[in-house]
Amino acid sequence: MLCRYINHKDSTIYFAKKGLEYAKQFNNKRDIIDAYLLLGHTTKNSNYLEAINYTLLAAKEFLNRNNLSAAAIMYVNISRIYMNNKQFTQAKKWIDSSAVISLKFDSPNEEPVTLILKSQLYDSLGNKDSAFYYFKKFHYQKIVEIRNQENIAISQLTAGYENKKNEIVIKNKNKQITFIVALLGIIVGGSILLFRKNKKIHSQNKTINKQLEELIKTLEQKQVLLSELQHRVKNNLQHVISILEIQKESVDFNNIEELIRGNQNRIHSMALLHKKLNISESINDIEICRYINELSELVKHTYESPKRQINLKINCDAMTMTIEKALPIGLILVELISNSMKHAYKNKTTGAILISLTKNVASNYFRLYYSDDGSGFDFYQADTKGLGMEIARGLISQLDAKAESSYNSKGFVLTLLFQ
């Protein structure tokens, strides 16, 4: 259809024939008819006999579907094509056939398009009386059609006026009802206020006692939450100490800056985790998607270089996660993103890192997917990428996660399944 609108007739014919071929293959009657109509319309100026053939095939399909009005229109189109090519005898034959079909579907009058075409046909044949006769019928039909449209418009305006009038009546009644209801509301409200005033002293004492009990309960909850938070911080500091102890044996002054930057990112992941905790609601759950987004961008930014353009895409549909799972997930992502940024794109200027975290509600399993399109590496090789991958493997064991990894020269993929 696009080719038709931009006047690429050859392309239109080609694709219409292709469409007809597929429509016949799958016996799609609607598409077969559309293809015939398009081919008939497109070829009428270049090959009118072919156009007539396609239009006749469309009429046959309409007759098979008992759509007599559409078939009659097809016959009118065939008559018009013959007229445009000065074959008036054939044109008269098909316009008469259209009239016969019109009578079969109980049309009381011939369609205006048929009447004006007959008038033009007889005018071309030099039969001025018949041409004038059918033109008068066409003119009469158009006048009737216009009057019918005017009557419909008048009926619609009348109905609209009546509806508006009814709406105004209803609105006035609604206003009266609203006023009465409001007045009753004021009376009832005043009665309630008087009743409450008589009980105010007793109610105030009861409210103060209840608020005092709630305040004591809230204070106790805050103390428990604070104690739990201190315990979390102590555990996270122990993580940091353990990492530093492992690195202590392998400190090399040539890579001391890299070690510090790596440890900064690990500590950032823990700090960000505590930032996301909502101490007023729960000390145990965090919004995992926001946490992953901010942490990943932070680590990526740490290793960004103007010479490389690395795109980071994150998909996440898990709402919350316990801090026990979120902490190792954050540290694993720190190590994976750091490794990709440092090693995967040494010989590339562009790249893409994809992180996806989803949750299967039925099985209560989380799925973490990580991939890059860098040089790839063996995640399970013991000495792969130094301490960072060793930490990641240890954290996977801590999560009791099922891990699957693959790699080649076009990238690295790691998938974790855990509860």
Q: What is the pLDDT of residues 168-221, one digit of tens each?
A: 888 888 888 888 888 888 888 877 888 898 788 788 868 878 887 776 665 555
Output the pLDDT for position 285: 82
388 in Cβ contact with 400 (< 8 Å): no
Cα–Cα distance list, 303 to 298, 314, 343, 346 (Å): 9, 18, 11, 12
Tell whether the model's pLDDT for residue 337 goes beyond 90: yes
Tell whether the model's pLDDT for residue 4 goes beyond 70: no
Task: Dig out the tokens for 382 from the structure.
Answer: 């013991």
Tell whether the model's pLDDT for residue 307 goes beyond 90: no
C-alpha closest to that of 74 among 91, 60, 90 = 60
d(CA 377, CA 167): 75
- What one-character DSSP code corresponds to residue 278? B
What share of the chain in percent tops pLDDT 70?
Answer: 79
Task: Dig out the tokens for 239 from the structure.
Answer: 């993580």
Per-residue buried b or exposed e for 379-412, using 16+ beta carbons within 10 Å of the residue's own CB = beeeebbeebbebbbebbeebebebeeebeeebb
Report, as an integer, the average pLDDT of 115-126: 86
Tell whether the model's pLDDT for residue 309 goes beyond 60: yes
- Amino acid 33 reads I
Helices (runs of H) and strands (runs of E) counted in the chain: 13, 7
* pLDDT tens column, 260-306: 666 666 676 766 766 665 554 556 788 899 999 999 999 999 888 88
Residue 36 banded pLDDT, cuts 50, 70, 90? very high
Tell whether the model's pLDDT for residue 402 goes beyond 80: yes
C-alpha closest to that of 341 among 307, 387, 294 = 307
Report, as an integer, the average pLDDT of 321-335: 92
Task: Dig out the tokens for 132 from the structure.
Answer: 């004038």
Tell whether the model's pLDDT for residue 6 goes beyond 50: no
Q: Give, in words, the CATH class of 251-418.
A: alpha beta
* pLDDT tens column, 221-267: 555 454 555 455 556 656 665 665 565 555 554 556 666 666 666 67
Residue 383 banded pLDDT, cuts 50, 70, 90? low
Output the pLDDT for position 224: 47
**Domain segments of the chain: what residues?**
2-108, 251-418
Cα–Cα distance list, 332 to 86, 174, 269, 270, 295 (Å): 83, 65, 10, 12, 11
Backbone angles phi, psi at 110, to 5 degrees: -70, 150
Output the pLDDT for position 334: 93
353 in Cβ contact with 311 (< 8 Å): yes
399 in Cβ contact with 413 (< 8 Å): no
Report, as an integer, the average pLDDT of 18-22: 89
d(CA 126, CA 381): 97
d(CA 79, CA 116): 12
Report, as an integer, the average pLDDT of 312-326: 90
User: Does residue 17 sit in helix, strand or coil?
Assistant: helix
Q: Give, in words, the CATH class of 2-108.
A: mainly alpha
* Pairing between β-strand 285-287 and β-strand 320-322 as defined by DSSP bridges: antiparallel
Sheet holding 411-418, edge to edge: 309-316, 350-360, 365-372, 411-418, 402-408
* pLDDT tens column, 124-152: 888 898 889 889 988 888 888 888 888 88
Report, as an integer, the average pLDDT of 314-331: 90
Q: Is the full-model pTM beyond 0.85?
A: no
